[in-house]
Structure 1
Amino acid sequence: MTKPGPLRAAVTTSKSNVEIRDTAAVVPGPREVLVTVERVGLCGSDIHLFSGDHPYSNYPLVQGHEFSGVIAEIGPDVDGPLTLGDRVAIEPFTSCGSCYPCRTEHPNCCENIEIVGVHRSGALQTQIVVPAAIAHSIGDLSADLGTLCEPVSIALQAVTRAAVVAGEFVLVLGAGPIGQGIVLATSELGADVMVSDLAQNRLDLARHLGATETILAGGDDNLAQRVEQWTNGDGPAVVFDATGASAVIRSGFDLVAASGRLVIVGLSNDDVSLPIVEFTRRELTVLGSRLNTGLFPEAVELVKRNADRIGAMITQRYSLEDAQQALTFAHDHPAEAIKVLIEVSES
């Protein structure tokens, strides 16, 4: 089989600095596949890595973990349905299989987790070798929409953790990509969904994806009053925090209905103070959520079912050569940059 030619990669060499470099050709080993990268989506962790405030910022690093591409070569000992030319979306983490979380079917919490574009070389390069087990065929789904499968899988994990059912009032705090995915998934389940965010364009997108109510945070409306009116005084059965901001988490805690569930999916190093008595008085359930546990194929199907509207999440496009500008824009304009795509190769 022909070996791939020279690669080009966008390498984050230091804080806020990206260089385009030629790199050596790569060949898949046992149980691996070589993927020609088509599209890469930028997310919050990419911005933190780029700006140097991520706990795993370790340069030089090729970033990128939300990506789609085409199978260019299959290594030995690969079992399963993957064939040359398949378009795939990558579930960008591997687990050890032996630690306590792995042994108890929580590989997303693996103590030795390895995430593509964080702990190992990522997708901002022409081709990448990944374990075959994390490459999911997406059929005729476009390369653009293939990049959305990973953030949607994170949203599905949160929704699954919350056990949302039809007819429940669901409040989503934060309308970035994960929040938008939560809107899509919960509205499909038949929930009544309200979204709060600081940016009107993100609220407009949430309406497009199924939200029934929106409120501009910091605007004239009072969130607590709107929520009380919307839920007929009951409060939302489920509140999702997709911001990681301590003040927002506290707001969600105060707003959730008695016996309700608060799910924290936003990332932050901040502390938050919560009154212990309210946990027992209102019998609240507070859940954390990260990555996904076996939900990636379901995420692919959710994206496929909503292919005609979920593409509105993609707001900007850049070439691989302009990766520096893409990361800088996403960092400097978070309200506008819902999902920035980097086009690595032609579809």
Structure 2
Amino acid sequence: MIESEGRTRFHDVAAPVEGNGEVRIAVRHVGLCGSDLNTYRGLNPLVQLPRIPGHEIGGEIIATGAGVPPDFAAGKRVIVMPYTHCGYCASCRKGRTNACRYNRTLGVQQDGGLAEEIVLPAGKLIINDTLAPRHLALVEPLSVGFHAVRRGRVNAGERVVVLGCGMIGMGALIAAVARGAEVIAVDMSAEKLALARRFGATHVIDASARDVVAEVSALTGDDGADIAIEAVGLPATFTQCIALAGYSGRVVYVGYSKAPVTYDTQLFNLKELDIMGSRNATIDDFRAVIAWLEGIGDEADALISRIIPFEEAEDALPFWDGNRDSLKVVVAR
């Protein structure tokens, strides 16, 4: 549990009991997200402490409540969709439940999965016995990047700039490459840029050493990007996307800035940009990621920087805070 800024501790909590339509899960793997790290650092305005973090969850079914379909049998492995939806807000009525106005994500607006057991509705679980158990925790963060690419309507042959090669940015990169796009990956970490190349980026730019806008202009013959995807969450990268996108281009914001962003809006009009937000992911995004992971097998291990035993979970967020080049830290039990 994150007790307060910079402080994590084990706590005893009441054992969860499955109710009607619910499934009790033994949590086996939990990936730590940037939102968890921001909570630990006191920078997540969506979280009230204390909070059990963790929404990138792979587990095993222990028991089921009444009304749960028989497919959800004890011993089956599952991937968790960690979002809620109300069913009646404007987004839900439009079928876009991933953007529910009243969503409560595990580990953010409610306690998450960094625990021995958790109880969830059966409808929030995807049964999967084909992926390696450790890879189940990769599905949710990659799905968020896949969703951003779907929001951006990326097509084969288009040039896509991805700002930020953390796990969500990597998901966007992978999804864009899978659609046949040419991807320019931007980050300040040599390790993450090397992984970006490994997973299909055509070009990489070290933002700590190069003028990103000038480099993208040179690589695109001064056309700019067809799609610029922001996966960092800083005011500077929010505004940089507008400069990187070419005329009649598209911008997708999947990161969110914790500080106000000031724009010179003339380029919105001059370029006639499509500017889109992207939130969470849908079941179709999860399924697309699962298929991709099943196709690459153990190659997905390259996306995991470190696996930390559950008994040492108190040290997981402090470790990541001190090793920011790590792409994905996973707690395993």
- Scaled to the shorter chain, the TM-score interval is over 0.9
1:23 alignment partner, SS class:
coil
> What root-mean-square deviation, in Å, do the aligned CA atoms of Structure 1 and Structure 2 show?
1.5
For 2:248, the equivalent position in structure 1 comes to: 259
1:286 aligns with 2:250: no
Q: What is the distance in 2 between the residues matched to 1:23 and 1:280?
A: 54
Please state whether the residue corresponding to 1:261 is helix, strand or coil: strand
Q: 1:213 maps to which residue?
A: 203
Residue 244 (structure 1) aligns with: 233
Matched AA of 2:227: V
* Alignment correspondent of 1:235: 224
Cα shift at 1:189: 0.8
Partner of 2:145: 155
Kindly report which structure 2 residues correspond to 1:62-211, keeping only aligned pairs within 5 A, or say none.
62-79=52-69, 81-211=71-201
2: CA distance between counterparts of 1:178 and 1:80?
34
* Displacement of 1:57: 2.9
Confirm or deny that 1:332 pairs with 2:322: yes
The reply on whether 1:303 has 2:301 as its aligned counterpart is no
Q: What's the CA shift for 1:163?
A: 0.5
CA contact (8 A) 1:101 1:107 kept: yes
Count of aligned positions? 332
Contact in 2 for aligned 1:42/1:341 (Cα 8 Å):
yes
Unaligned runs of at least 5 residues, structure 1: 1-10
- Amino acid in structure 1 at the alignment position of 2:53: Q
1:44 Cα offset (Å): 0.7
How much has 1:184 moved relative to structure 2?
0.8
Q: Which amino acid in the other structure matches residue 130 of structure 1?
A: L
Within 2, Cα distance between the matches of 1:222 and 1:80?
56
1:130-188 CA-partner distances (Å, limit 9, x unpaired) = 11111111222112111010011101110000010100011111110001111111111
Q: State the one-letter code of the partner of 1:165.
A: N
2-structure distance, mates of 1:25, 1:285: 48
Cα distance in 2 for residues equivalent to 1:103 and 1:68: 29
CA distance in 2: counterparts of 1:248 and 1:182, whole angstroms: 16
Contact 1:145–1:307 (CA under 8 A) maintained in structure 2: no
Structure 2: distance between partners of 1:317 and 1:99: 39
In structure 1, give the amino acid aligned to 2:305: T
Contact 1:209 1:309 in 2 (8 A): no
> What residue is the counterpart of 1:4 in the other structure?
none
Partner of 1:6: none
Among candidates 10, 31, 34, match of residue 20 of structure 1? 10
Partner Cα distance (1:56, 1:248) in 2:
21
Secondary structure at the counterpart of residue 329 of structure 1: helix
Deviation at 1:80, TM superposition (A): 6.7
TM-score when normalising by structure 2: 0.95
Could you list the runs of 5+ residues in structure 2 that have no partner in the other structure?
Answer: none
Residue identity (%):
34
Is contact 1:172–1:179 with CA below 8 Å preserved after alignment? yes
Distance 1:163 1:80, change over 3 A: farther
Q: Which piece of structure 1 moves more, 302-311 or 139-148?
A: 302-311
Distance in 2 (CA, whole Å) between partners of 1:115 and 1:80 is: 26
| AA matched with 1:280 | N
- Counterpart in 2 of 1:8? none
| Pairwise CA distance, 1:200 | 0.4
Measure the CA separation in 2 of the matches of 1:58 and 1:198. 31
Cα distance in structure 2, aligned partners of 1:223 and 1:61: 38
Could you list the structure 1 runs, at least 4 aligned residues long, displaced by more than 3 angstroms after superposition. Answer: none
**TM-score between the two structures when normalised by the length of structure 1:** 0.92
CA distance in 2, matches of 1:161, 1:305: 24
C-alpha distance in 2, partners of 1:218/1:20? 38
* Equivalence for 1:5: none
Structure 1 residue 300: Cα displacement: 1.7
- Contact 1:260 1:285 (8 Å CA) reproduced: yes
Which shifted more, 302-311 or 86-95? 302-311
Secondary structure of 1:157's counterpart equals: helix
